Amino acid sequence: MLAKKLADFHHGAETSAAISAFGSLDTITQNAEENFSQTEKYIGNTVPRNTYQRIKDYTDSFIRHNAPLFHQRVAEGRIRDCHGDLHVAHVCFTNDIYIYDCIEFNDRFRYCDVASEVTFLAMDLDHYQQADLSNAFVDAYVAHSKDKELLQLLNFYKCYRAYVRGKVNSFKYDDPHISEVERAETLANARGYFELAESYI
């Protein structure tokens, strides 16, 4: 049900030439480079140097060698006005399925390839050691959306999104106002997400 709900949402989500521009190689490269520049200070702390470099090399190489695929995604209208922050904490199951707390403050984070959004949630399910649910969710989404090319981007975007979560937890680790217990948990989460990102290479 969740996969169908998300596929239906993406099908009806706004797209335009202006939105599609956020799927350009320039924007994808900018997003990736921003990740690495913002986490340089955490090398040796939340992210090991070899992990940082390995992920960076993989990311640069994937973008460089898959330019036609990224162009195809734009041409097929796969860049949409998405949720932008779709991890497990933003999905609620009650009498229905509710997806909430989308990003409203930054178009560059919200306008993205639907593949990036789907793999964000799939990656977070992996993080919580629910790989079977992650795989089932992706398979169901592809079946409902008929977006088979998404699978070619699966590990790239999983790596990217896991790195983002590692980065966010690294920022939180810097917060002088959190307790020592929360600080330790945040450090473990950051390291776990960076390790997960590397596992997709």
In angstroms, rounded to a whole number, what is the distance separating the alpha carbons of residues 29 and 14? 23
**Do the beta carbons of residue 87 and residue 121 sit within 8 Å?**
yes
Say what the pLDDT of residue 104 is: 87
In angstroms, rounded to a whole number, what is the distance separating the alpha carbons of residues 129 and 104? 29
pLDDT in tens, the chain (201 residues): 899 999 999 999 999 999 999 999 999 999 999 999 999 999 999 999 999 999 999 999 999 999 999 999 999 999 999 999 899 999 999 999 999 989 888 888 899 999 999 999 999 999 999 999 999 999 999 999 999 999 999 999 999 999 999 999 999 999 999 999 999 999 999 999 999 999 999
Rounding to the nearest 10 degrees, give the CA dihedral for residues 164, 167, 171, 172: 70
Say what the pLDDT of residue 26 is: 96
Q: In the chain, which residue ranges form alpha helices assigned H by DSSP?
A: 2-12, 17-20, 25-39, 49-65, 67-75, 107-110, 114-127, 131-145, 154-173, 180-199
CATH architecture, domain defined by 2-199? Alpha-Beta Complex (3.90)
Domain assignments of the chain as residue spans, ordered by start: 2-199
What's this model's pTM, rounded to 2 decimal places? 0.95
Buried/exposed code over 56-82 (b: 16+ C-beta within 10 A; e: otherwise): bebbeebbeebeeebeebbeeebbbbb
Say what the pLDDT of residue 105 is: 86
Say what the pLDDT of residue 200 is: 98
Say what the pLDDT of residue 44 is: 97
Residue type for position 134: S
CA distances from 167 to 7, 119, 164, 190 (A): 28, 17, 5, 7
